[in-house]
Amino acid sequence: MNWFKKFMYGRYGVDELSIALLILSIILIFISEMLSKYLYAFGLIAYIPILLYAFRTFSKNIYKRQQENGKYLRMKNALIVWLKQKQVRAKELKTHKYFKCPNCKQTLRVPRRKGKITITCPKCKNKFKGKS
């Protein structure tokens, strides 16, 4: 294993983005196996993420690979926050309604079945009418 340690010296190695690329490739290969009768070229596309995985792992441009991973993690976290927000809203669908302040675009939550109401934005104090 000593030769491998020497080989990997100064190289980037595996990070979260690389693992995601590897998983993506496995999923794509699996799908392409199922669709192989219909889409021949799809099988080749499935290997692109695994090539990126290898390129990133053995890359010596550590700074650039860290930047890519950081970008990936920020996008992943934004997606998780967005999905959690959707989940919360789906749970509250029967009890609350969401409005967007026409002035500052702030999202506001009001209880349902109150009829026509005047909503005051807590952020910019703008008042607007809505039906809950």
- Radius of gyration, CA atoms only, the chain: 24
Nearest Cα neighbor of 89 from 110, 103, 105 is: 110
Could you tell me if 59 and 65 are in contact, meaning their C-beta atoms sit under 8 angstroms apart? Answer: yes
Whole-angstrom CA distances from 33 to 20, 38, 45, 48, 54 are 20, 10, 12, 15, 22
User: What binding mask, one character per residue, do residues 44-83 give for Zn ion by CB under 5 A, x or -?
Assistant: ----------------------------------------
Phi and psi dihedrals of 104, rounded to 5? -115, 0
128 is an interface residue for Zn ion by CB under 5 A: no
Selected binder of Zn ion within 11, 126, 128, 132 (CB under 5 A):
126
Closest distance of CB 107 from Zn ion, Å: 10
Selected binder of Zn ion within 26, 84, 104, 120 (CB under 5 A):
104
Selected binder of Zn ion within 17, 28, 46, 101 (CB under 5 A):
101
Q: Which residues bind Zn ion (CB under 5 A)?
A: 101, 103-104, 106, 121, 123-124, 126
